[in-house]
């Protein structure tokens, strides 16, 4: 029993590592949104930020923070609950009418993605530096 507890404590993922991964997932979703907008509508057309984009970003971050921590790091009940919440957010984003919140240039998606990627890499690097110190 004590060996299981020690193994479980040794395999816990730190919050900084999870947050860094969530920022990287956020950057990936922003870059993917940029590419899809460029392919479908071109670079010169403005990007309308509807209610769907923030909901999809929230769903991606929730999944990255709580749902994708590995098979042996969390119980299946927690993963199922997180998956149900994420699917509910995605379904809500499809069912909600696409009200335009604001209109931005597509380059801002890349800018926000770069900032999120840098934040994620910095958090993960800080965690690696702290974890490697004796």
pLDDT in tens, 33-65: 999 999 999 989 999 999 999 999 999 999 988
Chain centroid offset of residue 48 CA = 21
Over residues 72-78, mean pLDDT: 70
pLDDT interval class at 72 (50, 70, 90): low
Q: Yes or no: say if 82 and 63 are a contact pair by the CB < 8 Å rule.
A: yes
> Residue 22: pLDDT above 60?
yes
pLDDT interval class at 67 (50, 70, 90): confident
> Minimum mean pLDDT among 5-9, 88-92, 102-106, 107-111: which range?
5-9
What crossing angle do the helices spanning 52-62 and 15-41 adopt, rounded to 10°? 150
> Residue 90: pLDDT above 90?
yes
- Please give the pLDDT value at position 10: 46
- 29: tokens are 């979703």
* H or E segment and range at residue 60: helix 52-62
Mean pLDDT of the chain: 85
Rounded to the nearest 5°, which phi and psi values hold at 59? -60, -40
């Amino acid at each position: 029993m004590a060996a299981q507890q020690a193994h479980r404590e040794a395999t816990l993922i730190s919050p900084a590592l999870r947050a860094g991964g969530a920022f990287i997932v956020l950057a990936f979703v922003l870059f993917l949104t940029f590419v899809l907008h460029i392919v479908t509508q071109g670079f010169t057309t403005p990007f309308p930020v509807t209610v769907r984009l923030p909901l999809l970003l929230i769903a991606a971050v929730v999944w990255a923070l709580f749902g994708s921590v590995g098979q042996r790091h969390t119980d299946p009940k927690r993963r199922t609950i997180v998956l149900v919440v994420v699917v509910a957010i995605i379904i809500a984003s499809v069912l909600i009418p696409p009200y335009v919140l604001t209109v931005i240039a597509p380059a801002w998606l890349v800018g926000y993605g770069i900032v999120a990627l840098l934040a994620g890499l910095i958090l993960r690097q800080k965690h690696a530096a702290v974890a490697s110190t004796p």
